[in-house]
Each structure stands twice: as C-alpha cells, then as structure tokens.
Structure 1
Amino acid sequence: MRRRLAGQEPFTPARIGDKKKLRQFAGFVGVRVPETFYVGPIADLLERDLPEEFALKPDFASTSIGVLLLKRASAGSFINLLDGQEISGEEVLSRCGAISERYYGDAARGHFIAEELLRDHEGRTPPQDIRFYTFQGEIGMILKEEHLAGPASAMYFDGEFLPFPDVTGRYGVAKSAEHLEAIVPATTPENWRELLAVAKRVSTAVASSFCRVDLYDTPAGIYLGEITFFPGTFYYRDRKLMSQAEAERLGRMWDAAAERLRGSKDQPSAPSNETHADFTRT
C-alpha cells in the first residue's frame, strides 16, 4: 500500500472507483448497483421528482462522509433515518453545502447523488457494509461493519467467510478510537455464497493486484457499493489495527496476484529484484 500511495505501482485503475464509472463497470460485469434518481448541484435537489425515500451522498467524498438517508415527512421536510429526527429541506441543502465548502471552498460547487435506499433482510437501513479485501479473485479478509448509526461494530472473517478464531491476534482498535468502535463476535450471513461469488467476479474483472470491494446484502440481491484502491484504514493505524503477521499474509496474496497479472495491459512483464522484494514486504 505504501508503494501504491507513493505512485510506484505501475498501474492502478483508480478511475473505476469514480461513482459514474462504477455504474458503467457494474453493468458490464452484471452486478447490481443502487438506482440513481438525481446527480447534480445540491441547489436543484428539491426541484426534482424524488421517491418517498432515498439516500443522498456527495459525488466527490469517500466512505460515509456527508451521507443522509431521507424519507419524506410533511411538505418540504424529511425524516433523517439515521437518527429519526425531522429535517427541513433547507437544512438538507445547508448540510450538503457545508460538505462542498469543506472540499472545494465553495458551497455550490460539489455535485450530489440521490439514489435508491437499500435495506437489509430485516428492513433496516442502511445494510451493513461488507468489505472484501480482494486480490485478483482471491479474498484475503472480509470486514463486516455497521458504522453509520452509533458506535461502529466490526466483524472479521477469512476468505471463505469463516470467523477468525484468533481475531484478537490479527486485528485490533487503536487506543484513541476505542470509544468509536469495537470488534464483536462474527456471524456469517446466510447469503455468504452469493456474496463471495459477486466479490470474486468483481475482483477478477478489475485489472489490479488489490482492491477492496464493498457489497450490500439485500432482499433484492447483492449490490455493489464501492471499489476502493486506496483504503487507508489499516495503513494509517489511527483506528483499525492489523498485526504484522496479518499484513505479511495479505502482502503475499498481493504479490501472487501481481504475478497472475503479468503480461496484461499496463502491467510490467517482470519486476526488478528490488521492486519485487519491496512489494513482498508491503
């Protein structure tokens, strides 16, 4: 990951992570994505014919930054499904404008996406994030996380969706973040086979040694939420922690995936010894 962040990896198709490109990619590989109702400046949102409930998120930010899950209430107002509080349309515009201001220095510049609101099999929203750390069709680790509502809870699984029996020896939480999240006993979802199949299909279709594939498990099927090429969660060690042995295990999977990509477009035909050694240590 250090090599990738420094721009030393020969090819990283980061453009696929863009939300618009992601929809095109998902259609090509036959994976569901949430339906889009609107993309554009936040000032025009309330003039659009939107459904009773929808998810609103910035087109330019990552993870859960600025996400609102909204359901229509009285005229011109919504229920924020994350906290159950009523919020006016003007307040929605104000909150979104603040996100744009933070990123661009201009409250009107950023575009926002209103898209299909997903629910889990019990009708709760949002469904848990299920994040697959993938290496060209191989899965090194799965993180199932609930982080939008209240303190985050994290479950860890191996590449076959089995809970790690020694999870505390592999993963942890930084001292400064123990009030923000906790590792909880892992429960394998009933649709684990379908989730694995979709994650592997997406991973193999992406010309990259490593990417994180984020999926949602819903009654309507498995949805692709995001493909991330630069996840910093474990790299920066300021919240989630990974043991050195676990980092080396996943690093070897990254190395093996790179070997499988040799000869592909934009991939090097053979690494130098120095690059190979550094890559193996990552």
Structure 2
Amino acid sequence: MQEDMSLARPWYNVPVRLISSYAEQSCVLRGHTVTELIEGMPHINSQKLIGLELAGFDHDLADFVPIPDGVPVEIVAGLQDEPAKLYDLAQLTASRPVRVRLNCIPGFVSGLSIAASLDMAVALEIPLSGTAGAEELVAGLELALYRRSLTQPIDFYHGLLHTCYHQTPVDLFDIQEENPATSRYITDTGLETVSSRLAWILTERQVKPQDLFAYRDEQIEKYAPACFECEHGPVCRGYFKWHDPTADCSAFHSLFDVILDAAEQLAEDVRHAQDDVDSASH
C-alpha cells in the first residue's frame, strides 16, 4: 500500500495460497474472503505484513473481528459491486486504516463519494482502455480538492497534488504503485509481475518486471515521441501511451493543469499564512 512505497526493497502483493513462499518478504496479503485472509495471516511474519487486500464489497463486518486492530485493509471493487454496500463496512475505520480501490470507469464518482464520506482512503485505478469521461474525472478531482469534510487521500489526485506542491521526482507509476523497484504483484498462478492491471500485457509482450521502464521508454521513443516533449512528461512518463500510442490522454492533461494550478495556489496560500505569522511575532 502506498504509505510503504519508500521501502528499500519491493513489497509484494501475494495471494493467500502462495504466502508461504513470501513469508519473510514485506507483503500485502490478498484474498477473496475475510476468513481466507485470517487463515493466511499466521503464515507470514507479522512484522512483514503491510496490510490485507480483500476482493469486493459484500462482506460481513463481524468477520473482521479476529483481525488485530491497526492492520490496514484495502477493499478492491469488482465491476458488479454496488457502492452503497460500503455503508455496511463503515465501522471498519474505527479500528484500522481502510482504502477502497476503484476502477476509474464510467460511474466511479458514486463509489468515490461514498468511500470519502466514510473516511476511507481511495485509490483510483486507470484502466488500460475505456476510462471514465472528462466530466467524471473532473467531478472526482473537484471532490478531492474542495470537499471540506475530506479526511483521507484520494489517489491519483492527491498523489499528483503532493508531487506538484513539493516538486518531488515522483510520477504516475509511483503514485499508482506500478514502479517495479518498489512493488511487485504475484498473480494467482504464481507469476511475478508489476500490478494486476499490467499482468496480462507484460506477459503477452514478454516483458520482465524489472525491464518495464526500459521497455516503456523504447515504445514511447518509437511510437509516441511527443511524450518526451509534453509539459506533463515529468509526472506522466508516458503512462497512458507506452502500451498504446493511439490512447487519448487529453482528459488527463486537463486534470494535470488543474492540479498544477491548485498546487501553486496552495503554495501561495502557505506563503501568505507564514508571512502573517512572521508579522504577528514582531
């Protein structure tokens, strides 16, 4: 999970049935049911457990009781999951960090709004194709930037805002946890790849996880060289076009512009606030 991306070695997202092979690695334990995750937890060094990843929203709150307080849980939305089911899990946030992973597809803002209202962090996953339209992406960004009651981050929005505000060398691959230097994903069949989103395309193109960025740069240079000249290149790094040079990333360009403006405004507000503090102290 993102808060542990600074680990010196990559952490692994591992299905329960394969956890014995990764028991001494820093891991996110992945399962389809709460019971399955609970049964898998004794097989991993507790000091190495980053958190639990659970598929779908349809779970009984009582099933989580045996999980020690403080162990983070990420709930991954399926295409058929009803966002309103999150209300049944609202009490989870009283005992642990909870993050909801949503596909950034048409209709995603409903789930985003509900999760945010329940004090759950959100990670938006950008599909390789068929992403939500510009209006929905902007609506999600407006919620992330301007909802006053918001208490938890919404990524990729807040990750980009943090990068722009602090001017740090972090890009979308880092924010989306698809940097092979920091995170790896173990498929249900035991294949080591970068993320569930990229598993099939890297397998199809026979690209090893450690070679992702070299392959990306090669593809961009051949088929989408304009990415190297794009003003958003330092934070995008060809995220949308390396695998498909025909992909339309114009909606995201608009988002990047808004986020950059918001970061600049935030920096200006902080400077003014500091000036006021300094003036009052003299």
TM-score interval, normalised by the smaller of the two chains: under 0.3
**Structure whose residues are more often strand by fraction:** 1
Higher relative contact order (CA 8 A, sep 6+): 1
**Structure whose residues are more often helix by fraction:** 2
TM-score, normalised relative to structure 1: 0.27
